[in-house]
């Protein structure tokens, strides 16, 4: 299952008893904060870090024609999950795997 922005807004609305339009503003503000602050790391305790990474210029190849071309360096946003988040995700996967044997 994929969780989309609208789903996040709906969950926030029901959990916090807020209007959906207010939750929409909160989610959009967060995404804009991550997108605009390229000079800073955005660190969320027990969740992870968003940061910008500069890729190196490299040679690419068109798989159809085999023609080589240069891919210029560019900035990309990277997310590094915290150990707390990794452990929580892996615990859930282990639990699902163990309980699926009993079905």
* Domain residue ranges of the chain, discontinuous segments joined by +: 1-36, 39-103
Tens digit of each residue's pLDDT (9 = 90 or more) over 14-27: 999 999 999 999 99
Give helix 5-16 / helix 20-36 axis angle, nearest 10°.
130
pLDDT band at 102 (very low <50, low <70, confident <90, very high): low
Predicted TM-score (pTM) of the model is 0.66
Q: Does domain 39-103 have CATH number 3.20.20.70?
A: no
The burial class, CB within 10 Å (0-12 / 13-18 / 19+), for 17 is: exposed
């Amino acid at each position: 299952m994929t969780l989309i922005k609208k789903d996040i807004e709906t969950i926030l609305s029901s959990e916090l008893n807020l209007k959906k339009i207010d939750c929409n503003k909160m989610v959009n503000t967060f995404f804009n904060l991550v997108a605009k602050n390229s000079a800073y790391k955005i660190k969320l305790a027990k969740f992870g870090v968003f940061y910008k990474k500069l890729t190196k210029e490299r040679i690419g190849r068109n798989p159809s024609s085999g023609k080589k071309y240069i891919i210029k360096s560019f900035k990309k946003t990277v997310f590094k999950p915290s150990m707390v988040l990794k452990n929580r995700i892996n615990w859930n996967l282990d639990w699902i795997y163990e309980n699926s044997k009993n079905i």
